[in-house]
Amino acid sequence: MRNAYLEALYDLAKNNRQIMSLNADIGAIVFDKFKADFPDQFINFGVAEPNMISAAAGMASCGKIPFTYTIMPFITMRTYEQIRNDVCLQKMNVKIVGVGAGLVYSTLGPTHHAIEDIAIMKVLPNMTILSPADPLEAKKATFAAAQIEGPVYLRLGTSKEPTVYQHDYDFTIGQGVKLKDGKDATIIATGSIIHDALQAVEELEKEKISVRLVNIHTIKPIDKEIILHAAGETKAILTLEEHNVEGGFGSSVAEVILEGNCPPVKFKRLGINDCFCSFYGTHQELKSHYGIAKEDIIREVINLYRQKGN
């Protein structure tokens, strides 16, 4: 996703000199081409993220369109009040781009994991939150972020995410994507973990359970319609996120369903179960250890399906 983001940013910067790539000393090599071709549109702020965000707001107030970029916990938590007061309160056209969603920086440990960012970013008024599933979607989300005049938080993975979208499609902010239709249950997910969900859905098909898969690439504003249709039509919802279940994406989906006057729905949030993740290994190994891997998804869908009386 990181490279897809950079390709999109390169195109944006080429066509609009107001686009600025701001960075807090992260991304060796990958920014080289951008720096070489647009030296006036790239600034490394050093290891000082709060200053980067406030300065980005100041630049935006003078017409610049800053894309600020660093590892996710540092760009969301170290800078939180700067994002709140200088960007969101004043509706500044600043893009907050975090790299390393969820547990993707597995071996770097809990300081580098991002499992609270959705919760804290979604409570900020005026913020749009984009959470792409694969590189193609990351590219589209970057272009879409530039189109919005106002704050955007872009939640990226890192590199080598598997492909979710086999074909081109229309990306519209605020509109979820039905990746697969199904009638027995729906998985509503966000981010690169959608790929695990796709695999789970294929295996569940073999068990004769027909599962709908919905990708929510815009966490805020959330697509209520696609959620309520899924709830009404399949009556079983599993939300899936690489994030703490507390206050996370699944909570947003639950709120939509509860306020949506749905018929009774079986519902479960699958995510990291309110703990820091100090287990080391590969990204996939961490997902398995913390119960958000393909097998966990399959198990939870079957549970919901049975609860419906099957």
Sign of CA dihedral 285, 291, 295, 298: negative
Place of tokens 């499609």: 169
Rounded to whole angstroms, what are the CA distances from 178 to 58, 96, 146, 272? 39, 27, 24, 24
Question: Which residues 198-237 are close enough to bind another protein by CB under 8 A?
Answer: none
Window contacting another protein (CB under 8 A); options: 26-34, 50-58, 228-236, 277-285: 50-58
Which ranges of the chain would DSSP assign to H, the alpha helix?
2-15, 32-37, 49-61, 72-76, 80-82, 117-122, 135-147, 194-206, 224-234, 249-258, 283-289, 294-307
259 is catalytic: no
Contact 119, 271 (CB under 8 A): no
d(CA 308, CA 310): 6
According to CB under 8 A, which one of 4, 8, 9, 59 is a site residue for another protein? Answer: 59
Closer by beta carbon to another protein, 48 or else 148: 48
Q: Is 57 in the site for another protein (CB under 8 A)?
A: yes
Which residues in 19-48 contact another protein (CB under 8 A)?
Answer: 40, 43, 45-46, 48
Gyration radius (Cα) of the chain, Å: 19
- As measured in angstroms, the least distance from the Cβ of 84 to another protein is 9
For residue 63, state whether it binds another protein (rule: CB under 8 A): yes
For position 96 contacting another protein by CB under 8 A, the verdict is no
**At closest approach, how far in Å is the CB of 86 from another protein?**
6
| Distance, CA of 92 to CA of 56 (rounded, Å) | 9
Q: Which of 4, 21, 64, 99 binds another protein (CB under 8 A)?
A: 64
* Residue environment code for 121-146, b if the CB has 16+ CB neighbours within 10 A, otherwise e: bbebeebbbbbbbbbbbbbbbbebbb
Nearer to another protein, 55 or 292 (CB): 55
The nearest distance, CB 89 to another protein, in angstroms, is 6
- 120 interacts with another protein by CB under 8 A: no
User: Which one from 49, 137, 161, 242 is the annotated catalytic residue?
Assistant: 49
Q: Which is nearer to another protein, 46 or 109 (CB)?
A: 46
φ and ψ of 305, to 5 deg: -60, -40
By CB under 8 A, the count of residues binding another protein is 26
Nearer to another protein, 20 or 304 (CB): 20
Strands 128-130 and 65-71 turn out to be: unpaired
Nearer to another protein, 43 or 277 (CB): 43
Which residue, among 232, 233, 273, 249, has the nearest Cα to 194 in the 3D structure?
A: 249
Least separation in angstroms between residue 21's CB and another protein is 13
55 binds another protein (CB under 8 A): yes
Looking at the Cβ atoms of 43 and 103, the one nearer to another protein is 43
**Catalytic residue numbers, as ranges:** 49
